[in-house]
Amino acid sequence: MKPLATDALLVIDMQSDFCPGGSLAVDEGDSIVPLINKLGRRFEHVILTQDWHPEGHISFASAHPGSQPYTVTEVAYGPQTLWPDHCLKGSSGAAFHPALDLPHAELIVRKGFRREIDSYSAFLENDHRTPTGLAGYVRERGLKRLFLCGLAYDFCVRFSAIDGTALGFECIVIEDASKAVGLPGSVESTNEAFADAGIKRERSDV
């Protein structure tokens, strides 16, 4: 992989709460940090996303009395998976993993900060209408191709790549620089969705 000046590395949610010891830990989530640091040095443009929730967020099982984490409930915009409380804005769990070292990252997109809407995608919240502003940024900066990595492969990386593609950007997922939550069927349906959308999965060494 030889990044062009119009390529960007989009690093999704490399936050402590998604790493071992965090409240919504992804297995081996921290293991990709050195690779992402290395990848980041090859890109002129690096963009980070940060999951950033208020207390009582709609995606927290704790906000739905009687519901358990990792189940699905119906909300105004459709089905919503419920999670343990995570990435509370300003908390240490919402901070980037301490070993993440990408000082030249030019933009941090926070998402999921509206109590009533979750946001997996870096582009659109889960109502599929509310934009985060990232599409405008990418367009205005003349960026064409986005290489996605980070957490979690089957949620925020998935929906960022799908929405980015629908918005007209070429999205490529760097598979070995991403780890999955792994709910039943979630990785399989992610791979199918990528295939249907023509999204390439590449390894960092290609």
Query: Which residue numbers are catalytic?
Result: 13, 111, 156
Determine, following the binding rule CB under 5 A, whether residue 51 of this chain makes contact with Zn ion: yes
Contact 163, 193 (CB under 8 A): no
- Angle 46-21-37 (CA atoms, 0-180°, nearest 5)? 20
Interface with Zn ion (CB under 5 A), residue total 1
- Cα(52)–Cα(48) distance, rounded to whole angstroms? 12
Q: How far apart are the first and last CA of the chain?
A: 5
Of the pair 3, 113, the CB lying nearest ligand VGL is at 113
| Structure tokens given for 132 | 């985060």
Looking at 61, 117, 156, 199, which residue binds ligand VGL (CB under 6 A)?
156
CB of 4 to ligand VGL, least distance (A): 27
Looking at 43, 52, 60, 83, which residue binds ligand VGL (CB under 6 A)?
83
CB of 200 to ligand VGL, least distance (A): 20
**Residue 9 DSSP SS3:** strand
CB of 142 to ligand VGL, least distance (A): 27
Contact 68, 82 (CB under 8 A): yes
- Tell me which DSSP letter residue 101 carries: -
Of the pair 3, 69, the CB lying nearest ligand VGL is at 69
Q: Which stretch binds Zn ion (CB under 5 A): 36-44, 45-53, 128-136, 193-201?
A: 45-53
Looking at 7, 30, 51, 163, which residue binds ligand VGL (CB under 6 A)?
51
Contact 114, 125 (CB under 8 A): yes
Q: What are the residues binding Zn ion (CB under 5 A)? A: 51
